[in-house]
A and B are shown apart, each in its own frame.
Chain A
Amino acid sequence: MNSLAILLWSATAHAAPVDWTDGPHHFVEAGAQVEHATNLVVSSGWQPAEHTRFSASWSTPVFLLERPVNHALHLSADRAWPVADRWQTTGRVGAGVHHSSTTAMVSTALPLHLSGTIGPRLDRGLVRLRAGLSWTPTAHLKPTDVWLQAVPDAVAGWYRGMGGWWDVALEGGRRLGENWALVGSAGMHLTMRGRVPMPPDDFVVPWTADLRLRRVWTD
């Protein structure tokens, strides 16, 4: 605990911008992502100081829009540290709720996120490498009547050990004007045990992509 406090103090003393947009501001982003499914994503963030950011993002799968019960909400906090001239690292911790309603079950998963980036600071954009872990320690699963036909003893409740995903991606961004920017990422993910999904679960898309338009308001 003490070492964590020292680390945080140290980080505060050596702050760097979370990305190339300096100073207090807030922003709204909208775009599309491929992360398992193809999703619409809307997010909003607040950067109260140069080195700290809080953000929230909401996503829903494009091809299941007629069933709006499928959605996810993620909250995260970012911190930035300089590592060398014009280079910096960032760290992110987050938590979320991932809700899905399928023919077989209704699930509410509670994933936790941890990720870090490293990359150079650029004047009008950013490029950085990201590595992260999304882990779901527990989820509430409720079988539908359809699933109960196959597994009559299935019971609703909290289940443990839902696994997780590692992801590695290249993030980038480009300022498009005074208050607009395009941000995105492309990468791949593999299961928590390090397995790239293979047939027949090849309907698990092994790569990720994200493209968003950002509007920034300086505080």
Chain B
Amino acid sequence: MDCRLIALAVGLSGCQQLEGGMVPLTVVDDPSLPRMALDDGTLVHLRVVGPDDAPVVMVLHGGPGADHRELEFLADLAPDFRVVLWDQRGAGLSERLDADVVGPALVDDVLHVADHFSPHQPVHLLGYSWGGILATAAAQAAPERVDRMVLIEPGGLNQEMFDRSGVTSFSLAADWLNEAQWTYGGLSPDDHARMDLMFGVAFVADEQDRGVDPLFWRYGVASFQGAMESVLSEGYDVVSGLSTADHPVRIITGGSPHPLGTDFQEQQARFFGNASVVEVPGEGHGLVRTAPGATLAAVRAGLTDE
């Protein structure tokens, strides 16, 4: 009996672990990844491109929980700008964390990184989808730290717009849902790596349903949970108070019709004191992947137009 247990233990020890196998290593385990320590010591995956003296553009990726891989083309804003591309706390190749230490720090992290790279000048905030919500929340928390904002199809900026967007509706017969549910029969989501894998399974199936190839390193479930429990908690409103702010806001859309398209964003633009909406027509919410060149041009215009 004991011999069999030892044989089982030896056999299992020959198996791999998920990190570094099916899901990637993060900055904690892979020393080759560029990183930065946040004020509480948490490590985030972060890359900076552009001259030290250029205006700083902080790039905030979507999700919540995704990473900046699909936004790497924005590095081409250099050398006119100093571009800070990073994976938010708990997301992408940043350190794996529990949701309860992610949510409350998300907005503070934006301001901390901004202070680090631009201690004396306000920064430009550039957010895509969820990143647009986070950018707006940071501007609400510290408007004096923000110069311009470029928001690429931001999600609902308050609870009413979130509900109106319908982004959480899904079919019980959807492939992505049933693939994930069935896979849970052999795998439970109470470990970071397993959660990442399972969320990835659902996410790539959903992307494929919509005809889009995946472009991310790691979908951090805990980061998603943290955002849902804090910035996006019931009744949230990250845009109140910004109707009197005068910093320019450019909202870029992938056209219409789709839930977060031009019609939706024109309603959101009314929340700001100085906002305009431009289209990259016919691209939908995935414009950063399907039309990076046109999106980059629209972003550049948003950062420089008088």
Residues of A whose CB lies within 8 Å of any CB of B are 1, 35-39, 61, 63-64, 70, 72, 98, 100, 102-105, 107-111, 136-139, 141, 143, 146-147, 149-151, 153-155, 157-165, 191-193, 195, 197-201, 203-205
| Chain A: CB-nearest residue to B177 | A203
Bound CA span A154–B23, Å: 7
Q: Is the CB of A162 within 8 A of B23?
A: no
Q: List 28 A-B contacts (CB under 8 A).
A: A1-B1, A36-B181, A37-B181, A64-B182, A98-B186, A103-B204, A104-B201, A104-B204, A108-B186, A136-B186, A141-B22, A146-B204, A150-B200, A150-B216, A151-B24, A151-B200, A151-B218, A153-B20, A154-B23, A157-B21, A161-B17, A161-B191, A161-B194, A198-B225, A201-B198, A203-B181, A203-B202, A204-B180
Bound CA span A47–B200, Å: 43
Q: Is B205 an interface residue (CB 8 A)?
A: yes
Closest Cβ–Cβ distance, residue B5 to chain A (whole Å): 12
Bound CA span A35–B178, Å: 12
In the complex with contacts A157-B16, A158-B15, A205-B181, A199-B216 CB distance below 8 A: no
In the complex with contacts A107-B187, A163-B188, A165-B188, A154-B21 CB distance below 8 A: yes
A141 CB contacts on chain B under 8 angstroms? 21-22
B13 CB contacts on chain A under 8 angstroms? 160
Within 8 A of A (CB), among B1-52: 1, 8, 11-18, 20-24
Contact with A along B175-217 (1 / 0, CB 8 A): 1111111111111111100110111111011001000011111
Given contacts A37-B185, A162-B187, 13 further A-B contacts (CB under 8 A): A102-B183, A102-B205, A103-B179, A105-B22, A137-B8, A157-B21, A160-B17, A197-B189, A198-B225, A201-B199, A203-B202, A204-B184, A205-B181
In the complex with contacts A141-B22, A150-B216, A199-B228, A104-B188 CB distance below 8 A: no
Q: Is B221 an interface residue (CB 8 A)?
A: yes
Q: Is the CB of A151 within 8 A of B22?
A: yes
Q: Is the CB of A61 within 8 A of B181?
A: yes
Q: Is B224 an interface residue (CB 8 A)?
A: yes
Q: Is the CB of A143 within 8 A of B22?
A: yes
Main SS class of interface, A: mixed
Q: Is the CB of A98 within 8 A of B185?
A: yes
How many Cβ-Cβ contacts under 8 Å join chain A to chain B? 175
In the complex with contacts A141-B22, A157-B16, A159-B21, A64-B185 CB distance below 8 A: no
| Chain B: CB-nearest residue to A64 | B178
Bound CA span A98–B221, Å: 24
Closest Cβ–Cβ distance, residue A114 to chain B (whole Å): 15
6 closest A-B pairs by CB: A109-B186, A163-B188, A160-B15, A191-B190, A98-B186, A37-B181
| Chain B: CB-nearest residue to A197 | B189
Bound CA span A150–B207, Å: 12
Q: Is the CB of B12 within 8 A of A100?
A: no
A38 CB contacts on chain B under 8 angstroms? 178, 181
| Chain B: CB-nearest residue to A143 | B22
Residues of B whose CB lies within 8 Å of any CB of A are 1, 8, 11-18, 20-24, 172-173, 175-191, 194-195, 197-202, 204-205, 208, 213-218, 221, 224-225, 228
Closest Cβ–Cβ distance, residue A99 to chain B (whole Å): 8
Interface centre among A143, A153, A159, A191 (most CB of B within 10 A): A159
Q: Is the CB of A200 within 8 A of B228?
A: yes
A136 CB contacts on chain B under 8 angstroms? 186-188
Q: Is the CB of B190 within 8 A of A72?
A: no
Closest Cβ–Cβ distance, residue A66 to chain B (whole Å): 10
Bound CA span A165–B13, Å: 22
Bound CA span A161–B195, Å: 12
Q: Is the CB of A159 within 8 A of B214?
A: no
| Chain A: CB-nearest residue to B224 | A200
B188 CB contacts on chain A under 8 angstroms? 136, 162-165, 191-192
B200 CB contacts on chain A under 8 angstroms? 104, 147, 150-151
* Interface residue from B8, B175, B180, B217 paired with A203 (Cβ < 8 Å): B180
A161 CB contacts on chain B under 8 angstroms? 17-18, 191, 194
Bound CA span A110–B20, Å: 22
Closest Cβ–Cβ distance, residue A164 to chain B (whole Å): 6
B175 CB contacts on chain A under 8 angstroms? 63-64, 103
Closest Cβ–Cβ distance, residue B153 to chain A (whole Å): 20
Q: Is the CB of A204 within 8 A of B181?
A: yes
Closest Cβ–Cβ distance, residue A167 to chain B (whole Å): 11
* Interface residue from B179, B181, B185, B213 paired with A111 (Cβ < 8 Å): B185
Q: Is the CB of B215 within 8 A of A149?
A: yes
